[in-house]
Amino acid sequence: MIDLSKYTKELSKLFSSSGNILIICHINPDGDAVGAQLALYHYFKSKNKNVSMIAPNNLQEFLKWMDGADQINIFVKDRKRCRILIGEADLIIMLDFNQPIRLGEAEEYVNASGAKKLIIDHHLDPENFADLIISDPTKCSTSELVHELVCGLNGKTFMNRPYAEALYVGIITDTGNFEHGSYSSRTFRIVADLLDTGIKKEDIINLIYNNFSSDRIRLQGFALNQRMVVLPEYRTAYIYLSKNDLKEYNHVKGDTEGFVNMPLSIKGINFSALFIEKENFIKLSFRSKGQFPSNEFASQYFSGGGHRNASGGEFADTLENTITFFLKVLKENVWRFEDDM
């Protein structure tokens, strides 16, 4: 854990000297990316700062209800306006990612901008593409990290309703509703403060988790029934879905979110993989329990990365060949998770 108070002075100077502040989250933003972005936005708004927001591409439906979400400019929908915002920014704050490629199309404009750049993130090993990088992988979410920095700046706990809702969304989505990830007693103390603002946690849970289409639920059933392979000898299970499978169930973006977690609830399974067939490549997601560094596995074999227990990557081959390759490298690496067996 790093001592965040050492950043208070620097951040305070950076924020007060910046007229136009721009907050950008990563491509395919998840609840934590948007939650952290909106929380910081509401904080700056309360301090009457001039602040704007960009997401590289569309928000998923289950995040659009959030207070301030309609103020997020979508780069691929409004390129002109977003380029102007990037050009006019004195400070660009990038949240919840550690590689510039996750800026999507905005990357080249952010690179070219003369603005000061700040990264706030909880992924391991950030690349160096900012003036200041605040990276703390012991935090369960970027939202938690943002809150601790904001409280440092504010001199005492900062809180208001939309801010609390945004943080709550960030924390529950990155921990699977307090099931995994590096949440701690500190996380629960923060959540206690959030609940004290009167946010309606049942409503938020319903908006985030209980709004699936029937097609999505049927796809989940199909994936578990027909497309899951369990390898007890390797403490591993994987699910694969072809383009045709997805079409059959009228797949829309986000429908397979969470599928990769499901095999981990099988007794004795410590490593889970999800293969999704895309146009020219296979997208992989990994989850592990215990010490197995799924992110190292992802970066070594699948041009990816992430956290120890949640990571992903890509492979430019057919679904069949990707699974064959996965099985080969899994066998070569099985010794790495013997401790967890």
The residue ranges that bind ligand 5GP (CB under 6 A) are 99, 123, 260, 285, 304-306, 310-314
**In the bound complex, what is the minimum distance in angstroms from residue 162's beta carbon to ligand 5GP?**
24
Give the one entry of ligand 5GP, Mn ion, none that residue 56 binds, where binding means its C-beta sits below a cut-off of 5 to 8 angstroms depending on kind: none
Binding-site partner at residue 32 among ligand 5GP, Mn ion, none, CB < 5 to 8 Å by type = Mn ion
Residue 174 binding partner per list Mn ion, ligand 5GP, none, with a CB distance cut-off of 5 to 8 Å that depends on partner kind: Mn ion
* Shortest distance (Å) from residue 216 CB to ligand 5GP: 16
Q: Counting contacts by CB under 5 A, is residue 32 touching Mn ion?
A: yes
Q: From Mn ion, ligand 5GP, none, which one binds at residue 239 (CB under 5 to 8 Å depending on kind)?
A: none
Name which of 152 and 305 has its Cβ closer to ligand 5GP.
305
Residue closest to Mn ion, measured at CB: 32
Which residue do the tokens 């100077």 mark?
13
Q: Which residue lies nearer to ligand 5GP by CB, 87 or 176?
A: 176
Instruction: Tell me whether residue 1 or residue 329 sits nearer to Mn ion (CB atom).
Output: 1
DSSP letter, residue 104: G
Phi/psi at 159 (nearest 5 deg)? -160, 135
- Beta carbon nearer to Mn ion, 32 or 165: 32
Helix and strand tally (H, E) in the chain? 12, 12
Q: Phi and psi of 131, rounded to 5°?
A: -75, -35
Compare residues 32 and 277 and give the one whose CB is closer to Mn ion.
Answer: 32
Contact assessment for residue 274 and residue 282, using Cβ atoms and an 8 Å cutoff: no
The answer to whether 43 touches 158, Cβ cutoff 8 Å, is yes
Which of 65-98 are b and which e, b meaning 16 or more Cβ less than 10 Å from the residue's Cβ? bbebbeebbbbeeeeeebbebbeebbbbbbbbbb
Q: Is 96 in the site for Mn ion (CB under 5 A)?
A: yes
| Residue among 174, 245, 255, 277 that touches Mn ion (CB under 5 A) | 174
DSSP state letter for 184:
-
Give CA–CA dist 112/236, Å, rounded.
44
- Cβ proximity to ligand 5GP, 8 vs 99, nearer residue: 99
The DSSP-derived string for 308-324 is SSEEEEEE-S-HHHHHH
Query: Do the strands 91-95 and 20-25 form a parallel or antiparallel pair, or are they unpaired?
Result: parallel
List residues near Mn ion by CB under 5 A: 32, 96, 142, 174
